[in-house]
Amino acid sequence: MSIEVSVIVPARNEEACLGACLESLVAQTGVDFEIIVVDDHSTDRTRELAASFAGVRIIDAGPLPSGWTGKNNAVITGAREARGQWLLFTDADTVHLPGSLARALAEARENAADLLSYSPEQIAVSFWEMATLPVVFAELARQYPPAKVSDPASPIAAANGQYILVRRQAYDAVGGHTAIAGSILEDVALARALKASGRKIRFRYAADAVRTRMYRNFRQLREGWTKNLALLFPNPGWLAVWMTAAWAFSLFMFFLGGMSLVHGYWRTAYYVLPAVYLYIRIAGAHFRVSMNLLALCFGPPLFACLLLRSKRAHTNGSVSWRGRTYGADDRPVTQVHDRAPTTAGRLS
């Protein structure tokens, strides 16, 4: 029987999370699939962990070609070895719910989608994650509304590199990751290429299928969003100013409302409206209420700082991730410094 899905997991020093990812993948049922782990020059126990799972194929990414990002080089290496009719590109920090692979394949076929991408449930543990992620993902949902991304009549295209299921024929037709070799934001670039070719993409929030913890400390969070944010938003500087101003204004009005209440004035509802608006805006990101409240208090200025940091890094042409430094924006990489990262983190 032919293989329906080739699951490709690029991994660069992922010993902290790869085991849980592969454990959830090998347990999938209802579909014929293979799992390929692409070891991207890891210096930790990544390869050893992958080898401990029966049936998992492990291949090396090979030297990083000039003009390529590390992830694109890794995933295209896996794609060349894949035998499936569909390719699932998924990150080493994802955990896949039972039966999710078969359900995703059925969903793609039922919707006649050549690319199906899931936005996973985001697990947040530290203060920095809980304060920042609801704001980031709420703004992403506003910039890339899933309904419009999935609408063939809309020019908006997006995907989440943590989970991209793509028909092999369509992937090859648009040149796959070779066509976007130097793209730092490779997931969105691939979605744009497929949609521009007239193929259908489907994108949705999928807590019912996959979850992930993207960053495990503040340094990883700062570096990861510095890499991505300026590319995800067309006017990061303006958005940073707007978010900071809206946050400061809502806090100021809330303070005025509290002072009015102290002095016996009970018509204070108007004072909390800016904070209510900001909360509703943040609540669109599918996080629990307590995290939304924490993000309301601290998230907007943190998000603004990350936006400006990302904008500066791309303007200066020095974007660092996983021990590599890339050129500015989504232009082909002109210089790459490859060294082993000192800590584990997310590849995409």
Alpha helices in the chain (DSSP H): 18-26, 46-51, 70-81, 100-110, 127-143, 146-149, 168-173, 186-196, 218-232, 236-262, 269-282, 289-316
What Cα–Cα distance (Å) separates residue 90 from each residue in 78, 86, 215? Answer: 11, 13, 16
pTM of the predicted structure, to 2 decimals: 0.89
pLDDT in tens, 153-184: 999 999 999 999 999 999 999 999 999 999 99
Beta carbons of 194 and 117 less than 8 angstroms apart: no
Tell me the domain boundaries of the chain.
Answer: 5-120+160-214
pLDDT in tens, 206-243: 999 999 999 988 999 999 999 999 999 999 999 999 99
- The per-residue pLDDT for 59 is 97
CATH for 5-120+160-214, options being 3.90.550.10, 3.40.50.720, 2.40.50.140, 3.30.420.40: 3.90.550.10
**What's the mean per-residue pLDDT of the chain?**
90
